[in-house]
Amino acid sequence: MKPWAPGEIVVDPNGPEPLYSQVARQIGAAIEDGRLPNGARLDNELDLAARLHLSRPTIRQAIQSLVNQGLLVRKRGVGTQVVRTKVARPLRLSSLFDDLSELGDKPESVVLVNQVEPAGDEAIEQLETPGLTHVRRLKRVRSTGGEPLAIMNNYLPDGLIDPADDELRDKGLYQLLRSAGVRLHAAQQNVGARQATEEDAELLDEKPGAALLTMRRTTYDESGKVVEYGWHVYRASRYSFNLSLTNNV
């Protein structure tokens, strides 16, 4: 595939679509199909405006719309660069590690917590096991392409698996559970949103107050027992969930 050049952009000043939107749409398409790869730098606004015979405010608005979509980023002293496009994850019984691997990415993990601890009231309630005395608590930051995507917290009943940090870095949680003979059957999941805390911002390379997607999931095995409870946060600028709807009427 030949490299993308600004001259490929064609605008119709008499068309119904605003000029900035025409420019943004075509740059976005070049990012999505790989003509503008991750890390590529765009010409500055003045040069783009001159090449396309458009005003600088029009180009600025086009670039800002792509920044808002998470496709471009402005870096002081560097200029405007393409960033990795959003990870669009289907809502299904799979781990983030599984989904990233299927997309051809190489997931990376930093293990922050991997320990057995006394089961508190919240863990007992979420794991639906009144007599539980200890749980394994996990906290990891999942990244791809050098960019953090999510902070993942999990409770598991103690003794279900005993993963080393190296295993948690190299494999997904569901992969480890399946390898231990756990047959995942169903899950209840809730997706929401909130703003980034100071800790979130530091771990996810975002600003405090940035929009984050949240997900809480309770996963059951074939016998109906809870095998893990997870509460995760995702960068909204780099991540989305896909949901398919059907009409059963």
Q: Give 81-135 pLDDT, tens digit per residue.
A: 887 555 444 444 555 555 555 544 577 889 999 999 999 999 999 998 888 999 9
Bridge partner residues of 60 (DSSP):
none
Query: Is the pLDDT assigned to residue 240 strictly greater than 70?
Result: no
* pLDDT, mean over the chain: 83
Q: What is the pLDDT of residues 13-65, one digit of tens each?
A: 888 889 999 999 999 888 877 788 877 888 888 989 998 999 999 999 999 88
Q: Where are the alpha helices (DSSP H) in the chain?
A: 19-32, 45-52, 56-68, 96-102, 121-126, 165-170, 173-179, 198-204
Describe the chain by its helix, strand, coil percentages, rounded to 5: 30, 35, 40
pLDDT of residue 172: 87
pLDDT of residue 209: 93
Cα torsion through 174, 114, 143, 229, rounded to 10: 50
Q: What is the pLDDT of residues 145-178, one digit of tens each?
A: 778 889 999 999 999 999 999 999 988 898 899 9
* Alpha-carbon distances, residue 239 vs 32, 99, 212, 216 (angstroms): 15, 12, 9, 16
pLDDT of residue 230: 93
Q: Give the separation between CA 229 and CA 218, rounded to whole angstroms.
A: 5
Q: What is the pTM of this model?
A: 0.60
pLDDT of residue 95: 53
pLDDT of residue 103: 47
- Residue 120's identity, in one-letter code, is G
Q: What is the pLDDT of residues 120-139, one digit of tens each?
A: 999 999 998 888 999 999 99
In terms of Cα–Cα distance, which of 175, 120, 168, 110 is closest to 143? Answer: 110
Task: Identify whether the C-beta of residue 11 lies closer than 8 Å to the C-beta of residue 54.
Answer: yes
Looking at the chain, the whole-number percentage of residues with pLDDT higher than 70 is 84
84 φψ region: left (φ > 0), alpha (ψ -120 to 50), beta (else): beta
